[in-house]
Structure formats: C-alpha cells, structure tokens
A and B are shown apart, each in its own frame.
Chain A
Amino acid sequence: MRIFAGLLAGLLFGVGLVVSGMSDPAKVLNFLDVAGSWDPSLAFVMGGASVTTFIGYRLVLRQPAPKLAEVFQLPAATQIDARLLGGAALFGLGWGIGGFCPGPAWTALTLLAPGTMVFLPMMLLGLWIGNRVSQR
C-alpha cells in the first residue's frame, strides 16, 4: 500500500511537471530570462502548486495523524542563515546554467537527451558530497 501510494504520488507529480512545461529546460530558462525571451508560464505552475498545497495542507494537518505513518514530520528549523541562503544561491546558479531542478531532471530521464544523462548523475554526486559537507 505504501509503495503503491508513493508510486502514484510520484506519477502525479511527474505528470504535473510534464503538463505544466516545468520539465522543459528551454521553458525554465525563458522564465528566468526576464530581460530577453521571457515566458511567464512557470509563475502559473508555482502559483497553482503552492495555492493548492496551502489549501490541502490546512485540511490535512487538522487530522490527528497521516494515514500511512505515525506522525506529521514538518521541518523544525527556523533560522535564516548563511548556509540556507548560500546553498539556495548555489542551487539557483546551477538551475540557471542547466534549466533543470531535481524533479524535472528525474522526469527527463526516459527521453534520454545527452544533457540529461550527464546532469542527473552529477546532481546525485553533488547531493552526496553536499550531504557529507553539511553534516560537519
């Protein structure tokens, strides 16, 4: 049941990325290119996703517990520090170069573009190294 639910949620997320155009690096880079060939579409993705989640979370978090787990586990960190801002800025740099963030990089895999085949393993390597660095 947990496996099936996870698969379904991932599929829903991935189809959302495909339908919205978020999984196309050309569209992402044009969204970021405000001074050039600007395509504002992705603002509608972020808007639709965060408003839906805002409403959904409010309904869901009224429940005593999630259906397939013991407790709700929300991030507890509140501090806005150099690590958060620097890490996010670094992510933005990579996103601006390649047009991929982690979700779309996964959904792009089966289309087998050479750029994706290079990006994805390097992203996993970066996550692994970043995780080691952060733990110190």
Chain B
Amino acid sequence: MELDTLTAFTPGASLFGGILIGLSAVMVMALFGRISGISGITNAVLNGLSPNANHGGDLGWRVAFILGLIAAPVIYTAATGNPVLQTVPTSLIGMALAGIIVGLGTAIGSGCTSGHGVCGLARLSPRSLAAVLSFMVSAGVTVFVLRHVV
C-alpha cells in the first residue's frame, strides 16, 4: 500500500482531541438524551429524509451536527492558522469498496468507533465491548494482510 509511511507519535494532541470528542458526546446526552454514534446519526438523517419518515423532531439537530462535522476543519484552520494534514489512500476502487463495507458493517453491527467505542465503552456496555473487540481485530488483521502479506 502507498500509505506505508511513518506518522508522528502525538500523545498530547491525541489525548486533547479525544477529550473534545468526549465533551461533544456528553453534550449530546445532556441536551438531547442520545448516544452520539456518527453512523447512527448519519443513518437517522438518511432515513429521516425519506418522504414518510417519523424522526420524532430529531432530524434538525442531527443534520446540524453533521454540518458541524463537515465545517470543523475549515473552522479549525481559520481559528489556528494550521492546515489540516491528511493522507487519503489514492486507490479509488479500494476506497469505494471500503466505503460500502463500512456503511454496511456499521448498519448491521449497530454502530461504529464513536457509538460502540466512545459512548458504548463509557456506558460499560458488554455489547459495545464485544463490537469494539470484533472491529479492532478485524481492522488489524485487514491492515496486516494488505501491508505484510499481499
């Protein structure tokens, strides 16, 4: 894979960023009484946009949440002057495949890194712990095979 390059170890920035993510999750629970799983929020918006959907008044803040996610790098760069560094894999077929598998997997497994990882582990949910172990092992094996076997 073309991304087999070193990245800098950033424990301080990663911890700080993690705390911001945690604060956002707490904010969503405090205000809306909901888990902030990004696949769940995205899925609810997709379903909410269909004509005869019943979203119980939660469509508006969820759409706004996603707009906030999208705006984040722009606001971050405007506020700090730092560019957002990002190296996205260049194989478009690989990324298309990855995208559809991520979508399918999070829909079937009822969550992703944020919902099961952050919120589920914080709730000490055995179900989320099982899901996290499953996707961490699966992702680790996938990267191992793609980088060291194939």
- Which residues of chain A have a CB within 8 Å of any CB of chain B? 2-27, 29-30, 32-37, 39-54, 56-57, 59-61, 63, 65-75, 77-80, 83-103, 105-111, 113-116, 118-131, 133-134
Contacts and interface: CB of A to CB of B under 8 A. Distances in A.
A9 B38 contact: no
Contact of B17 (A21, A79, A105): A21
B7 interface: yes
Contact of B68 (A7, A88, A110): A7
B27 A87 contact: no
Contacts of A96: 138-143, 146
Q: Main SS of the interface on chain B? A: helix
Contacts of B26: 52-53, 56-57, 59-60
Contacts of A49: 18-19, 21-22, 25, 117-118
Interface residues of B, number: 117
Interface string B15-46: 11111111111111111111110110011001
Given A89-B138, A115-B92, A45 B17 contact: yes
Contact of A83 (B23, B95, B108, B136): B108
B5 interface: yes
Contact of A91 (B21, B58, B105): B105
Interface string B107-136: 111111110111111111111001110111
Contact of B107 (A44, A95, A131): A131
Given A26-B3, A93-B138, A102-B106, 11 more contacts: A20-B21, A21-B7, A50-B122, A53-B25, A66-B32, A69-B31, A95-B98, A108-B88, A126-B105, A127-B107, A130-B105
